[in-house]
Amino acid sequence: MKQKNSKHLSAVFFWLLVIVLIYWWSFQSLDFTGVKSSAGQVLNAMIHGLIHPDWQYVYDGSGEDLLSLILQTLAIAFLGTFSSAVLSLPFAFWAARGPHERHRHLRSTTGKFVIILIRTFPEIVLAIMFIKAVGPGSFAGVLAVSIHSIGMLGKLFSEALENMDYRASEALISVGANQPQTLVMATLPTILPEFLSYTLYQFEIAVRSASILGMVGAGGIGTPLLFAIQTRSWQRMGIILIGIIIMVTLIDLLSGTLRKRLV
């Protein structure tokens, strides 16, 4: 008992030491001195702008106003996510481990690794690469969202496949259905509600990222937002921020209710 206690104590000390070392390392050479003297002033101006947003910007019919750009942002996220849902299907089947397969399975492990690679690839870089291909604009944003979302959707889909209810497919196999038939008549109907629910969830995430992709020129509300911040027009920034908050909140609510009805 006593020995166990001292062992426990030394483990605690060990972890404490590790944590202290990590923090000592983190705070070293991290530069906190560069704060501009105007910080307080800027913050005040910002808060003033947030309280007095530029209401004229909400809609002026030019197609460059808040409402049309928010609509564009939603369109980017929508197209990107649902195209990505289709693109993710092969990746999901690639990465999913079947019920009788070993823990380390070559196909499944490589698939999982590829999905992780896609997920880690920064979305902004993807957007910039696609801008090189199709020019600045929302199309580049759609492409970036649709490729990047494979990283998340592929993971969620493959996990759904691994945990799915196999009774329907087993029933079909037992009456002599071939593989395509089992896939279409049993696997897909079983898994579809879950897939749709995950896609809606990914849509919520994509709306957030679509609203900042414009910062590198990939369409949506991000472009005027960055412009407003860089030119310090805080009233404009205020109204855009309010717009983003309302948009994200509404989409979260909508998608939440839809998802509850699905599963």
Give yes or no for residue 89 binding another protein (CB under 8 A): no
Sites for another protein among residues 92-151 (CB under 8 A): 116-117, 120-125, 128-130, 132-135, 137-139, 141-143
The whole-angstrom separation of Cα 174 and Cα 203 is 38
76, 160, 200, 239: which one binds another protein (CB under 8 A): 76
Examine residue 260 and tell whether it contacts another protein (CB under 8 A).
no
**Cα 46–128–113 angle (5° rounding)?**
110
Q: 107 vs 119, which CB is nearer to another protein?
A: 119
Looking at residue 20, its amino acid is V
Tokens in use for 192?
Answer: 């579809």
- Stretch near another protein under the rule CB under 8 A, chosen from 73-81, 90-98, 101-109, 182-190: 73-81
Tokens found for residue 166: 């196999």
Q: Is 154 in the site for another protein (CB under 8 A)?
A: no
Q: 237 CB contacts (<8 Å, ≥6 apart)?
A: 46, 49, 50, 225, 228, 229
What is the residue type of 184?
A: V
CB neighbour list of residue 190: distance below 8 Å, 6 or more residues apart: 164, 165, 168, 169
Q: Which of 23, 55, 59, 166 is close enough to bind another protein by CB under 8 A? A: 23
Closest separation between CB of residue 12 and another protein, Å? 13
CA distances from 197 to 2, 156, 250, 261 (A): 53, 10, 17, 9
Q: Does 79 bind another protein (CB under 8 A)?
A: yes
82 near another protein, rule: CB under 8 A: yes
98: left (phi over 0), alpha (psi -120 to 50) or beta: beta
Q: Please state, in angstroms and rounded to a whole number, the distance separating the CA atoms of residues 34 and 240.
A: 28
Helix and strand element counts for the chain (H, E) = 11, 0
User: Quick count: other Cβ atoms within 10 Å of Cβ 217?
Assistant: 17
CB of 118 to another protein, least distance (A): 11
Per CB under 8 A, which of residues 190..249 are in contact with another protein? 208-209, 211-212, 215-216, 219, 222, 225-226, 229-230, 232, 237, 241, 244-245, 248-249
Residues touching another protein: how many (CB under 8 A)? 66
- Applying CB under 8 A, the residues found at the interface with another protein are 22-23, 25-32, 34-36, 39, 42-43, 46, 71-72, 74-76, 78-79, 82, 116-117, 120-125, 128-130, 132-135, 137-139, 141-143, 208-209, 211-212, 215-216, 219, 222, 225-226, 229-230, 232, 237, 241, 244-245, 248-249, 252
